[in-house]
Every structure is written in C-alpha cells, then in structure tokens.
Amino acid sequence: MKLLFLGTSAGRPTARRNVSSIALVFPEDQNRFWLFDAGEGTQHQLLKSKLKLGKLNRIFITHMHGDHLYGLPGILSSRTYYEGADKLELYGPPGLRAYVESVLLYSEAHLNYELGIHEIDGDGEAFDDGRFRIEAGELTHRVRSFGYRIEEHPRSGQLDLAYLTSRGVPPGPLYGKLKRGEDIVLQDGSVIRASMAVGPCVNGRIVTILGDTVKCERAATLAQHADVLVHEATFGIGLEEKAALYGHSTFLQAAETAAQAGAKRLIVSHISARYADEDVEALIGQAGAIFPNIEAAYDFKEVCI
C-alpha cells in the first residue's frame, strides 16, 4: 500500500500546496483507496492523479475545520457519475452527519450509491474489516480533532516452495489451503502440515495519520511503533507558544512525538504558507536532530509502505 499526499498546506491553499487530504491506496486491490480529510479542491487534485472516485470506499475526517472538510460535498456528488461505485463509508467527529445531510438537502444533490455516516465520539475502534483495524483517538485542538491508527492484521508467512516441490505438492488450490493454515492430504495419503510448509506470520503494517493537534500523549499512543507517522507541523521551531495558542504543533514537536512513539518514519504536513521550500528544508534539518528519519510532505508525494 502507499500514501499519496493530495494537499499539504495549513489553513488555506497556496500556488504550490492545496489544503489537507491524503489518500491511502491499495494497488493490489485494483487501486482502491481511502481518503483522510477532504479540503477544498481535493477532487481536482484527484483528477491530476491516477485515482478514480469510483474506487474510493472510505473517507475519514479528522475534524470539522474547513481546510479539512470543504471538499467533501463535491466528492460525494461527483462520485455519482462513476459507474460501479458501491457503498461509501464516511467517518468523522460529531456534527459530520448534520453537515453532510444539510449540504445534500439544500443543494438538492442525489447520490446513486449508499452512504454510511459514522460519527466518532471518543477513543476506540472505528472499524475492523478482518484485514485492517482502524483506531480513532481524540487529540488536542481548538475543536474536537481525531487521529487514526491503521493497523494491518498479521499476514500468513511465505510458502516454502522448495519443500512443497520435494513433497510433490502441485501448485494450485492446495497452496491456498496451506496458506490459510489448513493441513492437506495428497492422493497417496501423505499429509502435509501447514506448519511445515508455511513460514511464520508477518507482522502487519501500521500507519498513523493525525489531525490538527498540539503535542499530546494521545498522539504518541496512536503512533506507537508505526511504520509511518503523518503529523502536522504548522509552525517553525521556536514558535511553540504560538502553536499552542492556535492548537497546532511545530516541526520540533512532531519530531519529539515520533521519537517518543518509536515510529520508524515521520512525514510532516499541514505546513504554514509562511514557509518557502528552503525554509521547510532548514526546519527539517533542525528537527532531524531529534528524529533523523523525518521528511516533509508536498502535493503528490507518494510514500510506499
């Protein structure tokens, strides 16, 4: 799977950065994807990518500020024009249902697909589809803001092809049974144990995507041992008091949270328009003293996980 950053600016768009939105893409599943936030213009950003709205099946909103939300009505309406678009699940804070239903009502928009709206009212599991478990955690911001921890369930180990060949197991459905942990019986009556043919389980991947927040313990908890942590960095180093006043974090605070959580990789986003590219590069260098594996997001940046 991979992350595609569709918008990385804080508060308002710039000529180079749109407002907040991130796609989590599953190339192995015909490029189906989930969205995390949908700031104004997100569907225009999608048109510049290879992603299609018909492949979108889940949207997670972190909080109700416009730079994370104003693109949602357009996405919901435009998705109607994609044949084969199935049910869309929408998750977010209290107030999300009223917002969506009001927009659809007063714009007289009609969706030709089923829309499920799930309001999150505290810490806990948002859903578990058997492959991924999504945990939501409330952060600290000027309005209720959530972070999401996407945790993949452990995957079955690799088949020992040399062993299977030596035992005369033909490729095909029997391989699938072994991968599912089922023992098999060959035509000659010999038994092949799954424990002998399949390697140990592989730990699933963990991605944490946080909404706007000051530095807080819940952010570090959601990011524990994450393969990738996406953390806002609205303000530069030295502006911690101003960041706290507006409910945001600095580059340095994002690095501190990643280090505290034991994350493997940190990508900072939601960057203020006051910072030019060279400023961002300098701030990354300074924060790297706390967490070396830090990088800045930019629009259309892809991150393989």
- Distance between CA atoms of residues 31 and 163, nearest Å: 34
- Distance between CA atoms of residues 24 and 34, nearest Å: 5
Please check if 65 is assigned to a binding site.
yes
The single-letter DSSP state of residue 118 is: E
Place of tokens 């023992």: 183
The single-letter DSSP state of residue 236 is: -
Known active-site residue 279 = no
Helix (H) or strand (E) holding 279: helix 277-287
Please check if 68 is assigned to a binding site.
yes
How is 74-85 classified by DSSP, letter by letter? HHHHHGGGSTT-
Written as six digits, the tokens of 78 are 């435009």
- Distance between CA atoms of residues 60 and 289, nearest Å: 32
The single-letter DSSP state of residue 290 is: T
Q: Phi, psi at residue 125, to the nearest 5°?
A: -75, 130
- Distance between CA atoms of residues 82 and 147, nearest Å: 30
Please check if 63 is assigned to a binding site.
yes
Q: Bridge partners of 269? A: 232
Strand 21-26 and strand 228-232: the pairing is: unpaired
Please check if 279 is assigned to a binding site.
no
Residue pair 249/271 in contact (Cβ under 8 Å)? The answer is: no
Q: Which one of the listed residues 29, 37, 67, 121 is annotated catalytic?
A: 67
Q: Phi, psi at residue 245, to the nearest 5°?
A: -60, -40
Please check if 86 is assigned to a binding site.
no
- How far out from the chain centre does Cα 285 lie? 25
Which residues fall in the annotated binding site for Zn(2+)? 63, 65, 67-68, 141, 212, 270
> Which sequence positions are flagged as catalytic?
67
Which residues fall in the annotated binding site? 63, 65, 67-68, 141, 212, 270
